[in-house]
Structure 1
Amino acid sequence: MSRRQPRAALTDIALVGIALADAWAHVDIEDRPTTACALLGALALVLRHRLPLTTFVLTLPTGLVTDAVVAPTAALYTLSSVNRHRFLLGGCALLYAIIDFLPWPWSSLDATELSQTNSVFHLSYTLATAAAPVFLGQLVQARRELSLRLADISEARRQERLLTAQSVLAKERAQLAREMHDVVSHQVSLIAVQAGALQVGGRDAETRQAAATIRRLSVQTLEELRHMVGVLRASGSRPTELTPQPSLADLEHLLEAGGIEAKLETDVPEELPPTVQRAVYRTVQEALTNVRKHAPGASVTVRIGLGEGVLRATVTNTAPTRSALALPSAHHGLAGLAQRAELLGGTVTSGPTDQGGYELRLELPHEPNR
Structure 2
Amino acid sequence: MRRRDWIADIALAVGFAALDTVATLAGASWWPTQPNTIAWVLLGAQVLTCLSLAFRQVASLPVLLVHAGFTLVVTALVWPLGALVPANPDTIYAPFAASLAAYGPLYFCRDSRRRAFVALIAFTVVVARPWEPSILLITIALLRIAVGPLLALYFDARRRLVRALTERAERAEREQHLLAEQARAEERARLAGEMHDVVTHRVSLMVLQAGAMRMTAQDEETRRQAEELRVAGVQALDELRDLVGILRAEPEGDESPSVSGFADLVAESTAVGVPAELVEEGDPGLASPLVGRTAYRVVREALTNVRKHAPGARVTVRVAYDKSQVRLAVTNTAPTARPDALAATGSGLGIANLRQRIEVVQGSLSAGSTRDGGFTLEATLPAYVPTAV
The TM-score, its normalising length taken from structure 1, stands at 0.49
Indicate the structure whose relative CO is greater, using CA pairs within 8 Å and at least 6 residues apart. 2
